[in-house]
Amino acid sequence: MTDDNVDADSGLGFEPAVNSGYEPLAAARSTASSSGAGRLAARRRGLRRKLTSAAVILGALVAVGGGYALLAPSSGAADTAVSAANVEQGRQLFETSCITCHGANLQGVTGRGPSLIGVGSAAVYFQVSTGRMPLTMQGAEAERKPAVFTEDQTQWIGAYVQSLGGGPQVPTGDLRGSSSNISAGGELFRLNCASCHNFAGKGAPLSAGKVAPSLNQATDSQIYAAMLSGPENMPVFSDNQITPDQKMAIINYIQNLKASKDPGGAGLDRIGPVSEGLLIWTVGLGVLMVAILWIGRKS
C-alpha cells in the first residue's frame, strides 16, 4: 500500500465503517430529539396560553369588582356603630316592652304582633321613635304619639333586633346631602311620594281606614327609616330602587319645603287650592248671610 493510498484512506488504509454504518442512527436520534423538543415547546406554549387566559380572567374580575366598589351607590353617611353593651341594654328593654307581641326570638305572636326577623333597626327606629310602638290598641292604623323611649333607648332596641334578625339600617351623619339636590329631590318626591302624602307632604286618607301620615313632624332619620322599612301601606324603597343619594335629596326637599314660607301668603298649611277656595266660599257665604240678616233687621 503506497503513501498515496494511505492519504486517500485518511491515514488508515481503509474507510472506517463507523462513519457509514451509524449515520442513519444519528439522524434518527436527531429527529427524535427535535420531535421531543417540539412537543415540549408545544406544551410550554399551551401552558403559557392557559396562564395568560387565567391572568386575563382574574384581571377582568378585579376590574369589575373595583369598578363596582367605586361606582356603587353610597349614602355618604357613616354606618351605625353599636357595642355589645348597647345590644344587651336593648335586649332588656325588648323583654320588658316588646316580647309579649313579637316573641322571644323575634318570630312574632299570632294575633298580637308580626315577626321582626329581617326588618332591621330601621323599622324599629321608625316605629319606636314616632311613638307608634309600643302599640296601645289594635286598629287599622298605628297613629303617631309621643315616644315612650328616649333616642338612646330606641337605638339600643334597634341594635338588639338587628343583632338577631338583620335587615336595613339607618345611616348616621348628614342625611340631606348638598343643597344643590333639592330640585332633584322634588322630582323624586312628586314621582314616588306625593300620590299618598300629598304634594306638600301633608298626608291623605287611604282605603280601609288607613292614612298616609303628614310629614310635618318627621325627622331626617324617620323619613330615611320609613323609606327603608315601608311601614303600614308604604312600599319599601331599597337602595336599588332609590339610591341613598336620592333618598337624601328627597329628605332635603321635604325639610326645606316645611321650613320655607308659603309664597302665596296664608296657604292653609299648603293643603291646596280646592281647600282654600272652599274656605273662602264658606266664609264669604257666611259673611254675606250675616250682612243680609243685619240689613233686614235694620229695614
Average pLDDT estimate for 126-140: 88
Residue 255 has pLDDT above 80, yes or no: yes
Check pLDDT > 70 for residue 138. Answer: yes
| Mean pLDDT computed over 114-125 | 95
Given this model, what pLDDT does residue 76 score? 43
Least trusted range by pLDDT, from 115-124, 133-142, 211-220: 133-142
Lowest mean pLDDT among 61-75, 127-141, 150-164: 61-75
CA triplet 15, 16, 20: central angle to 5 degrees?
95
Domains, the chain, ordered by start: 81-169 (1.10.760.10), 173-259 (1.10.760.10)
At 61, the pLDDT band (50, 70, 90 cuts) reads confident
Q: What is the pLDDT of residue 66?
A: 66
Question: Exposure pattern of 28-53 as b/e (b: 16+ CB <10 Å)?
Answer: eeeeeeeeeeeeeeeeeeeeeeeeee
* DSSP-H helix ranges across the chain: 3-8, 17-21, 23-71, 84-97, 99-102, 120-129, 151-165, 182-192, 194-197, 220-229, 244-259, 273-298
Predicted confidence at residue 231, as pLDDT, reads 93
Q: Return the percentage of the chain with pLDDT > 70, whole number.
A: 76
d(CA 149, CA 140): 23
Burial of 232 (0-12, 13-18, 19+ CB in 10 A): middle
The per-residue pLDDT for 73 is: 43
**Helix 220-229 vs helix 244-259: angle between axes, to the nearest 10 degrees?**
140
Q: 123-137, 149-163, 261-275: lowest mean pLDDT where?
A: 261-275
Of 42-46, 93-97, 283-287, give the lowest mean pLDDT range. 42-46
Tell me which of 267 and 285 has the higher pLDDT: 285
Q: Which residue has the higher pLDDT, 51 or 14?
A: 51
Q: Confidence class of residue 135 from pLDDT cuts 50, 70 and 90?
A: confident
Mean pLDDT of the chain: 81
- For the record, the C-alpha cell of 34 comes out as 427535535
DSSP state of 83: -
More confident position, 121 or 7: 121
Q: What is the pLDDT of residues 67-88, one digit of tens each?
A: 655 544 444 454 445 789 999 9
pLDDT-based confidence at residue 263 (cuts at 50, 70, 90)? low
Please give the average per-residue pLDDT across 186-200, as a whole number.
Answer: 93
- pTM reported for the whole predicted model: 0.65
User: What's the number of CA atoms in the CB half-sphere (13 Å) around residue 150?
Assistant: 4
Following DSSP, what letter does each residue of 134-191 receive, concatenated?
Answer: S-SS--S-------SS-HHHHHHHHHHHHHHH------BS-SS--GGGHHHHHHHHHH
The mean pLDDT of 172-188, rounded to a whole number, is: 93
| CA-to-CA separations, 42 to 36, 46, 47, 53, in angstroms, rounded | 10, 6, 9, 16
Contacts of 48 (CB under 8 A, 6+ apart): none
What pLDDT sits at residue 150? Answer: 96
Looking at residue 40, what is its pLDDT?
73
Report the pLDDT value the prediction gives residue 171, as an integer from 0 to 100.
Answer: 92
Burial 121-143 (b: 16+ CB within 10 A, else e): bbbbbbbbbbbbbbeeeeeebbe
